Chains A and B, each alone.
Chain A
Amino acid sequence: MLLKMSVPSLYRLLSRAVSSSSSIASLSRAPSLQHNKRNLTSSPFHSARKEDPLEETSLTIQSLFDSKERNKGTFVAACDIFMKRGPHRRGHVEFIYSALKLMENYGVHKDLEVYKRLLNLMPKGKMVPTNVFQVEFMHYPKQQQCAIDCLEQMEMNGVMPDTEMEHILRNLFGKMSHPVRKYGRMMYWMPKFKNASPWTLPQVVPNDTFELAKMAVERMCTVDPSSSITVYQTSEVEDALEDTWIVSGQSTVQQELLEKHPPGESIKVEGPFRIHLRDKSIGYFILQAEAKPKPPSPSRTVIDDVGSIKSWFTGELQPEETSLNQTCSVHEQEDGTILALCVTGTSGRDSLLSWIRLLEKSNPCLANIPVLFTQASPIGEIMNVEPEKHHDEITAAT
């Protein structure tokens, strides 16, 4: 229930570790790299220049990427214009580098097709090595490094290449070239990382908070297979101030725990806590009771005494006798017992009140238990997915 470490971020961490080791292996690197985080010798002056990605690109390229509207269509159009400039495609390496930097601005940094289009700008055939020495000593180093950086950026963005990509690289640099080797390594690791998380999410997580909420609750509920997820509308509750939805998750185990809860003792609604789903995050609330003292672990003498093995057929067991084969449920944590969790549309105080009311339907005992709403959120005011909106408008327009 307390999954503070979200898996996509773990994935990114791992893929970064891999890419860093692989890029060291890929010989020298061009100085004008976007991801020069490892370039420890660079001066502050050097990095300060990098703020505007367009600044150091040449005038002609700048004009290509000057469009007001920044989406996939205009990005591809710029590539096409460059492509049509003539058979020699002079300056393609510079063009690709500047394009790589601008991809995020255009919202195409996760689009495999665009990466393929960029690599396709390089001339085919000319750079394929014809003897072993060329193979070994990085024939056309600048171009190969450019292709490697392109792959590197894909890796950073979690874009997995496909077989067509391999064909493009092979036709550019030959089958033993460094980009193709990098491709091999990527194709070894990326599918593995892609499926490393036991909680599958769509490649692009929806921006809709409701969908996001359902995913989040579903993910957190996997700790207990008997969980069920219910979607409520606050309008079901009389005199609810806010009209919104509530995605609530509770398992039968939690219901039992709630039933066993002493009526007088209060329980708390805590939150919002943050859960990440790829690059989006959402706040959730939990219904929590004070932690129960752990049942004392059976003493050595009790276990060692094989002369009196207790089981169901030896007669009705006393409660203290059953404690030996009873374990704590996953919901009974050290800092409290989690009884239910939810995400509401507004994250407002009133929606949480409605949630408790609605929970009463399936947990009648809740009527006798005082519920406290904690004022302070451990992560400050609840965030929503607003900042991402701009980017998604871009992708939607394409």
Chain B
Amino acid sequence: MLLPCRLLSSVAPQRLWVGLGSRVTGSVNSLTSFRAINTSPKDASTPAVQHADEENTSTEAAKLKKPKRAPFIKNLFLGRFDKSVLEFPEVLDQDQHELLHEMVVPIERYFLEQVDGPKIDRDAKIPEETLQGLKELGLFGQQIPQEYGGLGLGATEYARIAEITSLDGSIAVTLAAHQAIGLKGILICGTDAQKEKYLPQLACGDWTAAFCLTEPSSGSDAASIQTRATLSDDGKTWLINGSKIWISNGGFADLMTVFAKTTEILPSGEKKDKVTAFIVERSFGGVSSGPPEDKLGIRGSNTCEVFFDNTPVPAENVLGEVGGGFKVAMNILNSGRFSMGSSGAGMLKRLLSWSIDHAVNRKQFGNYLSEFAMIKEKFGRMSANIYAMESMAYLTAGILDGQEDPDCSVEAAIVKVFSSEGAWKWCSECLQVLGGLGYMKSYPFERYLRDARILLIFEGTNEILRLFIGLSGLQTAGGELREVVQKLRNPLMNPGFIIGKGIERFRQQKDNPKLDLDIAGHLHPTLQPSAQLLEYCVKRFQYSVEMVLAKHGQAVAAPKNQLDVARLADCAIDLYAMTAVLSRASRAYCIGLKNAAHEIQLASVFSAEAAERIKTRVRDLEIGPVQNHDDLYSRIADAVVENKGYVAEHPLTRTFW
């Protein structure tokens, strides 16, 4: 019994404090975002909790100065694993936490009691009084700062609210079109005057915003838009001409972020077309919209064509710089995607409980559905998937809130791809549990399934986002691997490097990479096997990135090599999911959350399966297009395209009698 005492006193004081208290106390009550994030191995020597007398100054400083970190996934492409991510972020201080949870209650009640989802779906319109209720709850100005009349929520709080608003797809999309993309431009790069002028009206919902980028001829390829803006002779107004399609809220939005091509004259006298973003009020004139589109899902949201006919826009309404619109568009889209994880999870959690309700009451062959292993497996897998979705969404939100100038574009895209596919698949599986009942309109499942289908398409289709994930990672990696390649080409000048690399390669080819990242040291010991898997996957991923770059060179971005890029992107998605899941489960287990042991199970099973998937993909990359059948599929597709349809003869065809 004396052992603990002796152990405690024999360790150096500083070390002991870190070992004993830092994880527990630091995680339970981390007062500031700074503290929650800033616990990488480098500064592990400083205690995670400071003295009370230092508290005031450090809190102040922390609020002003957040840590700056390199983008996580982009670095992962280089095999660098930022272990600070394994400290699941706790960015809300006590006041924010309590405020958020007080806020959630009325919103949840409103959605359960006042919002009539089936009616919105049937009438293809959100009733005026429902919208009014949403405005009164402040949901139209969630991320607008408080000085402009909004709620001033951070990413984490926004994600939490999105969990509830997703209970009705139409409302979720209307809100997202308004604030996640519609007015986000003003928040990100608007001038003070623009903010002053527009944000108060938008925050209270008097005005609704829309985001006008897509055109008939340019969907995912945003740089190819045709809408033009020409500067008037006095240089004070721009005239916008063109049309935009599928604009959410397009029928009634009072303010639109419109992207149009402007002509820029380079110093050399050359003319060049560049995209510029404008803030356009409907009242400027020349704005008209077509009839609302009839859609498969999210039927209550208003989607229509918007036409601009010589719409005059004052020069001060240019968003960002003239010619800098493409960057603005990308920034807006990149910043809005992360919340899809939490909204997908919010929706699935509800569907799961409904289908469990059915499964425990329905008896077939003398057993309840909930006793059948195949149904149970669905519930189990679904939970693990929801867990991953939530973890990724809140990890990303935590990074957005807790870091200085965070670059989360790839992470957000990952969250979007993973959760949209999960939402679609598991919505469908929930419906499957009910069988025929689920297919009926009297149950909500088919509506949620239709609503969920859009998630795979909008805000960048999943295919485009896979390329985005893969290529932006490869770009980062390519920048640094250039030196590696140069060294490899001059072996005599860099003998040590060559030998090291040779050994590394040898081990990788034997599928036995050296695990030296010590990921397990940053997680609860219970998760050690999963941590090993994650480490293995990180190493294999780095190897496959090098492999792909070596194989294709610059041509990796060419359309014919997309499959390899997509494989890397899928690996990155699974890696990020594993990281998020493990860090969350570890935190939960350390601080003793309710059902923490269950979380460990979820995390273990998810990471084991994700590791299997990564393993298969790396193997596919290793064996090349002939053995992994890419080649064959490509040739089949060529033939099908050439034939403009299915090529094979009908099975009943005979060549002789």
Contacts and interface: CB of A to CB of B under 8 A. Distances in A.
Contact of B5 (A25, A170, A175, A200): A25
A325 B592 contact: no
Interface in B10-61: 13, 16-17, 20-21, 24-25, 28-29, 31, 47, 49, 51-53, 55
Contact of A181 (B8, B29, B52): B8
A188 interface: yes
A24 B2 contact: yes
B376 to A, nearest CB: 13
B55 A176 contact: no
A184 B21 contact: yes
A387 interface: no
B8 A163 contact: no
B52 A184 contact: no
Interface in A160-217: 162-164, 166-168, 170-171, 175-176, 181, 183-185, 187-196, 198, 200
Contacts of B29: 162-163
Contacts of A193: 592
Given A167-B55, A195-B592, A325-B366, A27 B17 contact: no
B643 interface: no
Contact of A187 (B28, B365, B596): B28
The interface residues of chain B, by DSSP majority, are classed as helix
Contact of B9 (A24, A136, A163, A183): A136
A21 B25 contact: no
Contacts of A191: 24, 28, 591-593
Given A21-B1, A225-B356, A171 B52 contact: yes
Nearest to A164: B52
Given A181-B20, A184-B24, A171 B53 contact: yes
Given A325-B367, A326-B367, A188 B55 contact: no
Nearest to B29: A163
A176 B16 contact: yes
B625 to A, nearest CB: 43
Interface string A241-262: 0000000000010000000000
B362 to A, nearest CB: 10
Contacts of B592: 189-196
Nearest to A183: B21
B305 to A, nearest CB: 49
Given A163-B25, A187-B25, A194-B592, A312 B365 contact: yes
Contact of A27 (B5, B21, B24, B47): B5
A189 B51 CA distance: 23
B358 to A, nearest CB: 11
Contacts of A176: 13, 16-17
A379 to B, nearest CB: 31
B24 to A, nearest CB: 5
Contacts, number: 90
A365 interface: no
B361 interface: yes
The interface residues of chain A, by DSSP majority, are classed as helix
Interface residues of B, number: 37
Given A170-B51, A200-B594, A252-B361, A187 B24 contact: yes
B24 A225 contact: no
Contacts of A188: 20, 24
B370 interface: yes
Nearest to B1: A24
Contacts of B51: 167, 170-171, 175
B4 interface: yes
A198 B591 CA distance: 16
A195 B28 CA distance: 14
A226 interface: yes
B591 to A, nearest CB: 6
A163 B49 CA distance: 9
A394 interface: no
A218 to B, nearest CB: 16
B244 to A, nearest CB: 50
Contacts of A27: 5
Interface string B582-605: 000000000111111000000000
Nearest to B588: A195
From A171, A187, A252, residue with most partner B Cβ within 10 Å = A187
A361 B361 CA distance: 20
29 contacts: A21-B1, A22-B4, A25-B4, A27-B5, A132-B13, A136-B9, A162-B29, A163-B28, A163-B31, A164-B52, A166-B25, A167-B52, A170-B51, A171-B51, A175-B51, A181-B8, A184-B20, A184-B21, A188-B20, A189-B592, A190-B592, A192-B592, A192-B596, A225-B356, A226-B361, A226-B368, A322-B365, A325-B367, A327-B371
